[in-house]
Amino acid sequence: MAEMGIYQAMSTLRAVRRLKPDPVPDDVLHRVLEAATWAPTGGNAQPWRIIVVKERERRARLGALYAERWKVFSKAYRANLANLPEPARARMERNLKAADHLGDHMGGAPVIAIVCFNPKQMAITDSKLDRPSVVGGASVYPAVENLLLGCRAEGLGCVLTTLLCECAPQVRALLGIPDPWGTAAAIPIGFPVGRGHGPITRRSVQELAYLDSWGTPISLSSR
Ligand SMILES: Cc1cc2nc3c(=O)[nH]c(=O)nc-3n(C[C@H](O)[C@H](O)[C@H](O)COP(=O)(O)O)c2cc1C
């Protein structure tokens, strides 16, 4: 079993999009899937399933669907990039190159984990508010994060992707996903071509957390 400090794993869990085609050993896959099962869900309902797609033809089909969507998405994304100040623009450009690579090679990942969810098994407490609902995802994405952290600990590259959710009908037909199950993420998994996971760029605690009320700065000793 791989050993790694939890903070080290979290702070180096960057998107890894260049993956070797080498198979992932079953025992390793089992461990990272078990990590997903440990995640909390509303009422402990565990309203998610993961389809571990290993069959070459199905991966190729998923890859082709992803490539189509990525072409459309990346064009719009690139158009906005020019307005960004440096060095953020250069960083985004680098990320986009890696994302382009995934766009062309998603189907070559030895494993694509398709995360499914059942809205009927969720208490979606914000479904009647006048804005897009997010609460349902809270019973799915903690499992996804556990899976990603498991991959990180095992030295496997991975990245959470959601573009394929745009073509849920085709993915559901390809994988035999029944009603009312939907798709929440597609995670290519494999050993990294380069260094794999590593340093990440994120906003600070001061920017993202407040004390007692919205906007009130929080100052905590960080010893
Ligand atoms: C909800 C969500 C959806 C994402 N969808 C995609 C995607 O469809 N394709 C992709 O290449 N990366 C996707 N990503 C990865 C993000 O682009 C990546 O985590 C972010 O840019 C930070 O990069 P870093 O972790 O390498 O620092 C997604 C991440 C999240 C959390």
Supply angle C-alpha 118, 159, 107, rounded to 5: 85
Share of the chain above pLDDT 90, in %: 87
> Cα(45)–Cα(47) distance, rounded to whole angstroms?
5
Query: Is the Cβ atom of 105 under 6 angstroms away from ligand 1?
Result: no
Query: Is the Cβ atom of 134 under 6 angstroms away from ligand 1?
Result: no
Ligand 1 geometric centre to CA of 98 (Å): 11
| Residue range 162-212, pLDDT digits in tens | 999 999 999 999 999 999 999 999 999 999 999 999 999 999 999 999 999
**In the structure, what pLDDT confidence band is assigned to residue 29 with cuts at 50, 70 and 90?**
very high
Of 120, 113, 143, 116, the closest CA to residue 48 belongs to 116
Provide mean pLDDT across the span 147-168: 98
Residue 132 CB partners (closer than 8 Å, separation 6+): none
Query: Is the Cβ atom of 112 under 6 angstroms away from ligand 1?
Result: no
| Residue range 78-131, pLDDT digits in tens | 888 888 898 888 888 889 999 999 999 999 999 999 999 999 999 999 999 999
Query: Is the Cβ atom of 163 under 6 angstroms away from ligand 1?
Result: yes
State how far Cα 107 lies from the chain centre: 16
Q: Is 179 helix (H, G, I), strand (E, B) or coil?
A: coil
pTM for this structure? 0.96
- Single-letter code of the amino acid located at 51: I
